[in-house]
Amino acid sequence: MENTQSTSQATLDALIIGQGIAGSILAHELLEAGLQVRIIDKPQPRSSSRIAGGLYNPITGRTMVKTWRADELFPHLEDYYRNLEQKLKARFLRDCKIFRPFFTQEEQNEWLAQWDDDRYRHAIERIDTGQMDLNKHLKATLGGLYLKNAGTVETLTLVEAFTRHFINLGIYKEASFDEHAMELTSEGLIYEGVHYRRLIFANGYQAGNSQYFGWLPFRPVSGDILELECEQEPYCIYNRGIFLTPKGDRGTSRCGSTYRHKPLDEQVNDEGVMQIESKLQKLVNFNYKIVNAVAGIRPATYDRKPFLGRHPKHNQLYIFNGLGAKGVSLAPFFATQLKNHLLNKNYLIDSEVNITRCEKKFFNH
């Protein structure tokens, strides 16, 4: 490890395994709090954070309900990523609206009646009844809803910017972490001759293979995404069954995604591609070219809530994981929560995300 200071004797505060969105943002939070952190990551081109669509959106689903904890997660989310952009000197946030077309007259009527009531005012900016020019590029003759407080984070750009930052700080090592090579001690642990107070698993779905955290009820989900060149560049995110983003810095729009438990792998699935295309054709009126297709595995959990906290037996082992399909909106809030807990044991991790919720049922003592 390229340390900027001698670490052979000193005990460092934390070793983080994995530098996807979870590990990156947690490391950032701990560093900002003045802790001494090291990161080990074996980048894989198809890791979730490298291929994600990167959308954030406070209301989702067919019934358009507020997402879990939206009132806490969303008010500071864009500012958080804007500050990171400044710090990392990179651009990855695009706070653009989402346009969600109506498919039936009935739907349009329902939303006209309810869009500005208390349940939706925070998320719906306005309603279009089919007058906009945009509609000729979309199969949206009935118009649709414009959702605010939504956008995308280019997660690959974010992760790459963080890698450069951590390399500059001399705290990053590109390697595969081997948990059998770690020695647990009464004060913490030793890995490759360096003493740490604690180790934090932020290694995505692969934490499911760990002898320490494999007992947690992960329910990983594969998904495909297409990268497209569109004849008409989307001017905001189009979202109905699938999403299509405006062209990003990498020159393509992203369109996805699918959810599949079997086969659970990072191989693009033909059926998945067909599914995306069939939904896209119901949404847009323009031609497009598929430039690339990618697939990854989301680190999802049995109750769709993150996994945070300390190992039931080993006080020096922690986990920050289970961000599922919502890494962009969950990571800043819960990394901050874990940091606060590490700095002050009296600061409790939310019971909804603390892994203690799974201990009774899943941990084999």
* Member of 12, 27, 47, 143 binding ligand FAD (CB under 6 A): 47
Residue 30 contacts ligand FAD per CB under 6 A: no
Complex with ligand FAD: residue 54 or 143, whichever CB lies closer: 54
Binding mask 279-298 for ligand FAD (x = CB under 6 A): -----------------xxx
Complex with ligand FAD: residue 20 or 188, whichever CB lies closer: 20
Segment (H or E) for 243? strand 242-244
Residue 306 contacts ligand FAD per CB under 6 A: no
For residue 30, the number of C-alpha atoms closer than 13 Å in the C-beta half-sphere is: 27
Name every residue whose Cβ is closer than 8 Å to that of residue 270 and which is 6 or more positions away in sequence.
none
Residue found by looking up tokens 């495909």 in the block = 224
DSSP notation for 149-214: S-EEE-HHHHHHHHHHHHHHHT-EEES---GGG-EE-SSSEEETTEEEEEEEE--GGGGGG-TTTT
Residue 272 contacts ligand FAD per CB under 6 A: no
* Member of 3, 43, 96, 260 binding ligand FAD (CB under 6 A): 43
Residue 40 contacts ligand FAD per CB under 6 A: yes
Residue 108 contacts ligand FAD per CB under 6 A: no
Burial class, 139, CB count within 10 angstroms (exposed 0-12 / middle 13-18 / buried 19+): middle
Binding mask 112-141 for ligand FAD (x = CB under 6 A): ------------------------------
Residue 55 contacts ligand FAD per CB under 6 A: yes
DSSP notation for 262-306: SS-SSS--HHHHHHHHHHHHHHB-S-EEEEEEEEEEE--BTTSS-
Rounded to 5°, the CA angle 39-40-45 comes to: 115
Number of residues binding to ligand FAD, judged by CB under 6 A: 43
Stretch that binds ligand FAD, among 95-103, 186-194, 318-326, 343-351 (CB under 6 A): 318-326
- The strand pairing partners of 173, in sequence order, are 40
Residues 228-257 that bind ligand FAD (CB under 6 A): 256-257
Please answer whether residues 295 and 225 qualify as being in contact, where contact means their C-beta atoms are separated by less than 8 angstroms.
yes
Binding mask 190-229 for ligand FAD (x = CB under 6 A): ------------xxx-x----------------x-x----
Q: Which residues contact ligand FAD (rule: CB under 6 A)? A: 17-23, 40-44, 47-49, 51-56, 176-177, 202-204, 206, 223, 225, 256-257, 296-299, 321, 323-329
